Structure 1
């Protein structure tokens, strides 16, 4: 039985298997609870900005690929779920509980939701808040969310990871090594040693300050996340 026929079966039988405490054996596509939760999250995301158009369903179908035999049932379930964005947190919690031992799978779902949100050419603040809330309920780290946001929306110029030229999920050692490398290259003393005019030295000083600030910000965020994880 395919991923999407499981959706139809669950919808027809009104079975709720999402309370299982362990990740089920087999592929997620064979799990009706997973299928239904993913469909509901995609549909309710489409309504998060107050409107739901056909481009978002097309993006949903592209990401999660219903087969021809199940398309009609999938569309019916999707249309029902997208009548309101209310209730999405319940689906996210159930999915997180059922697949808490499979964080990469939860990240893949969030990745797909980002794709759907951007399918109409823009991600609204309401949609972004929806995605951030789903990420929190999935138990994903802020660094994972930052990476997905940068992948789909682009990173801000003031993002410390953009300034340092490393991925948000780089290790502390990789982050520190890149910071030292960039700081060494940008150090004002190098500009002075090359005999550059004061204007260039001022630019080098500003760049070095930006690199230091980015490193301090990134490390402070990581310490905060570490304390939150230990709480």
Structure 2
């Protein structure tokens, strides 16, 4: 059974007039979390698109890149997107329900934020409304500020990414501590670890870019420290 069939089943279980956000109260156990993760990224992405007032083809393409949406599944993805946009509940309500759904586990919430950054940057522009939206979502998720800054440093090309921010470390830390932080990120972002956190297979591929960024940051720091 594909994830989109399972998403269809979750949407069909909604009572008449019940908002999309109600699904997050029901998808708490590990088998359903991949469904919940996909719905969460699309739903918050829809709310974010509403925040900057535009839904571009690039943003739609970004959803397809994250989830590898086949032609036959596009209707289900569009249904989730439209339900979220039409829901009177604000994005903060969605973010709180999603946080509760993942039992305040930081890993899946960081993964979800990464998907949102990918969508935000799809059109090549990081709108101030998107920044405010993402910062507020991260705050509701309880993510440390360093985690948010690390994500923004990797995705927003307003300047060359600061390798220390990417690893969530500071130049004042010892090389051993920086190396430990790098190794921890590598372990946490292994495909097996991502699958265990409940990411759908369609979203695990985001880790390839993440691992490249992490290893590039470590290489830059280690060369600089050795110089």
TM-score range, shorter-chain basis?
0.5 to 0.7
Closer, same or farther: CA 128–19 of 1 in aligned 2, 3 Å: same
Deviation at 1:35, TM superposition (A): 3.4
Given that residues 63 and 119 in structure 2 are in contact (C-alpha distance below 8 angstroms), is that contact kept between their aligned partners in structure 1?
Answer: yes
Does the 8 Å contact 2:146/2:165 carry over to 1?
Answer: no
The 5 A counterparts of 1:71-90 are 71-82=74-85, 87-90=90-93
2:164 is the alignment partner of 1:166: yes
State yes or no: 1:25 paired with 2:22: no
Residue of structure 1 in register with 2:111 after alignment: 108
* Aligned residues of 1:46 and 1:52 also touching (Cα < 8 A): yes
- 1:57-111 deviations in Å (ceiling 9; x for gaps): 1101211233444321211221342358962111111111111343111101100
- Could you say if the C-alpha distance between residues 89 and 144 of structure 1 is closer, same or farther in structure 2, counting changes exceeding 3 Å? same
Asked whether 1:56 is paired with 2:59, we answer yes
CA RMSD, 1 decimal: 2.9
Equivalenced residue count is 169
Give the match for residue 188 of structure 2: none
Aligned-partner Cα distance in 2 for 1:79–1:44: 10
Matched, 1:175 2:172: yes
How high is the TM-score relative to the length of structure 2? 0.63
Contact 1:48–1:127, Cα closer than 8 Å, also in 2: yes
Unpaired runs of 5+ residues, structure 2, are 16-21, 176-227
- Larger Cα Rg: Structure 1 or Structure 2? 1
CA contact (8 A) 2:153 2:166 kept: no
Cα distance in 2 for residues equivalent to 1:42 and 1:85: 15
CA distance in 1, matches of 2:88, 2:120: 13
Gaps of 5+ in 1: 179-231
1:1-21 per-position Cα deviation (integer Å, ceiling 9, x unaligned): 32222222222221635336x
Q: Which residue does the alignment assign to 2:146?
A: 143
Q: Does the CA-based 8 Å contact 1:44-1:82 persist in structure 2?
A: yes
Q: Which deviates further from its counterpart, 86-95 or 116-125? A: 86-95
